[in-house]
Structure 1
Amino acid sequence: MSSRAHRSARHGRRSRRGVRIPVIAGAVATVVALGAAWAGTQALRSPGTPTASSGASAEVRSESELAPGTVFVPPADPSSAPATPSASAPAPASPAAARSSAGTSPSPAGSKPAAAAAAPAAKPKPAASTPKTTAKTAFTPGYDSAADGQQALDAALRAAAADGKQVLLDFGANWCGNCKAADKVFGQSATNVLLNDSYHLVKIDIGSQNSANFSILRKYSTGGGSYKMPVLIVLSPPGTVRTDTHQTGNPALTADGLGSFLRQWS
């Protein structure tokens, strides 16, 4: 009797173990399935699929990989540019104004013709050209990151329109070694004489990520991307670009190289 009881007890324990084994196997399968789902989610967010944060880090990496003495200028956003009407197309004149300016307004019937034609107007004397000033001004090295680049440029263009000098735009950064080398040459007596004789120099900082100064650079040197500093751009008195070293490459940043450059475009 006792032996049958022992056998039944052992059979019950085996049955309970048989029930626990499938339950444990099911739990393990569930954990494996959850791990596979998590791995699939991570695969969807792999580095090959850029997100907002990964795009920003890619831009930082691209800037950090630039060659020494260069700066990355993002291209202009066309959607942010305001639509400006063209100033070249004059407004159509009214018919009455056209007849008046052309001298074709009809005279009333029976009116007497003019006795004598009006005397021709005296020709205006040509205005005397304003001589270029040659007063030497002290050269200030470096770039003022707090200065208003557009305001300085406007003042230089007004002065150029008055005295006929060229405008030299110098885009650079205080941390740029090439810019420091150019400043050293610009500060030398012989080069400073060339600057004062023929140019209004405007130094504009682009090393502090100033978006307003980037806009000025893109206006006169189109494109965007990587710029090797300093970027030297010569403008005529009306404000048209004569040369741009972003396109042509910088001259040698020596007294001979910059001197030749200044004499060529003066």
Structure 2
Amino acid sequence: MNSRTNNFSPAAFDMTQKPATRENSAEGLSPCAACAVRDLSLCNVLDEDELSMLASIVTSLEVPARAPIIDEGESADYLFNVTGGAVKLFKLLADGRRQITGFLFPGDFLGIAMNETYAYSAEAVSPVKLCRFPRAKLENMLDRFPHLEKRLLGMASNELAQAQDQMLLLGRKTAKEKLCSFLVSLARRAERRGDEPGPIYVPMSRADIGDYLGLTTETVSRTFTNLKRDGIIRLREGGMVEIPDFDHLEELADGI
């Protein structure tokens, strides 16, 4: 894999209210027609006729940065496909602390619930674009199109694999290994999305990274500084992070 760069900029945390999202619709036009992430998303297994049926139940949304998308415990009436921006998933502990459990990017699916309510909250890290599906109508389509259900199951399995990786990060790795693993994961996911080698936009704050890796904000900042001092990364203007030797970063992530 070639060298990668990453960008980190602050994102605040405010769940006091759920700002209104903007719904987009164009009469006579399918919201799927010009989707840049169709090959990565739920609908990539559908033919044109099936895609038109799916498009008939979709609402396109634009969500501003730091706005809640779903709240833990609320009725799981909708599912979402991320088509632009970045989303963070998290759970709030009884004492008010927050554990970020994952980040979603274009092509990822959001809102799968085993019961009638969401098991976690989701917030836009940057301005986000979503396709929103009413749960009941999407379930009807899954019954009609088994290949769509199989695709959704595959996406859920991928989510489970990411959760297992997160358990390893939290339980066994040092702060340096955690941060290196995080950067490696971001680069690999960007590659799977088809992004060009080079800068990768990652709008998480250091506080978000800490809440994901189980580290304090101070530890995250200090680890970034140490990686810069050792020549593992280069911090560029605007929060850009350049990775001169990706193979070496992978070795550090594995504790080598």
TM-score by length of 1: 0.24
Higher relative contact order (CA 8 A, sep 6+): 2
Structure showing the higher strand proportion among its residues: 2
Larger % of helix: which?
1
Larger Rg belongs to: 1
The normalised TM-score by structure 2 is 0.25
